[in-house]
Amino acid sequence: MNKLNLEFDALYGALQTPKNITCKEKIKIQDKEFSQNQNEIPFSKLNCNSVPNLGINHNCIKDNLNSILKFPLCKQASEKPELKSVKVELEKRSELYIPSVSKILEKTMSQESIENLQRWKKFMISKMGEEEFQKYQKELLANGQNLHACINEYLGVTPKLELCIEEAIAGHWESLKAIFPNINAIKLLEERIAHPFLCYKGIVDCLAEYKGHLVVIDWKTSKKKKNSLASTFDNPLQIAAYIGALNFDSRHQHKLSKGLIVVAYEDGSKASTLFMDERAVQRYWKEWLLRVKMYWDSIE
């Protein structure tokens, strides 16, 4: 299972800026202005020096981890004592390593999901051969990087007059064209975030308005149609995790409660926009908290 991260990155794409993109087409972009905070703030280690010594009271530790399941999506007027206890316990456990959202999701995958992934990998290798399969994965990863970079250039604070679209992602780009006009008031692009209490980190693809709603957006690619949140597997949990982290980030003053998963298709057909309203976000937030607890339960 050491290659799970690579496999998920290959399936869903990664967030890095590629270099030396070969152009298939040059798309003219009209001048436009965006309000955006695009500062990439490097991760600073959470301060664990002030953490008191709780000894090895296992009942206390268990209670602290159980409190994770009650953690709110948004900041509240007064901070409850049990929330501080969660922070103390997780700061101790994350002293050497703060896990990413994707790492937590990977580590807490159900046995059924793990077996499905293994079967898919075995099938692909039998069909393509080991060497070609590895090449295929690398190409998927590179295409995901390229697509994210092009999206960021298009939505960025200073859009370029000409945007280079590599042939391998031309279909995905065509798929997204009808979606872009509905995305406005860009606040963040590829922003590094970390939850100060629950001790996880990640990179938010985009925070912007979609049809008048302020949403956390995640860009995905797929060969198959995705017409429901359930069909995107753990992606809604990822959105909920990012919303929770942003709501507790002192750099951002927005109170967030909605999300959007945009799935671009290789064949160029119109991208799916899977909207997450407040009720959906709260439901997936509770599922995310369960996964966070499962992860920290496994870390001794």
Q: Which residues are catalytic?
A: 205, 218, 220
User: Could you tell me if 172 and 265 are in contact, meaning their C-beta atoms sit under 8 angstroms apart?
Assistant: yes
User: Could you tell me if 83 and 71 are in contact, meaning their C-beta atoms sit under 8 angstroms apart?
Assistant: yes
The tokens of 55 are what? 């000894």
The SS3 assignment for 45 reads coil
Angstrom distance (rounded) from CA 300 to CA 298: 6
Angstrom distance (rounded) from CA 96 to CA 66: 22
User: How buried is residue 22: exposed, middle or buried, by Cβ count under 10 Å (0-12/13-18/19+)?
Assistant: exposed
User: Could you tell me if 36 and 189 are in contact, meaning their C-beta atoms sit under 8 angstroms apart?
Assistant: yes
Angle between helices 111-128 and 4-12 (to 10 degrees): 70
User: How buried is residue 55: exposed, middle or buried, by Cβ count under 10 Å (0-12/13-18/19+)?
Assistant: exposed
Angle between helices 278-297 and 235-247 (to 10 degrees): 90
The SS3 assignment for 5 reads helix
Nearest CA among 235, 297, 256 for reference residue 101: 235
Contacts of 260 (CB under 8 A, 6+ apart): 210, 213, 215, 216, 217, 218, 239, 273, 274, 275, 276
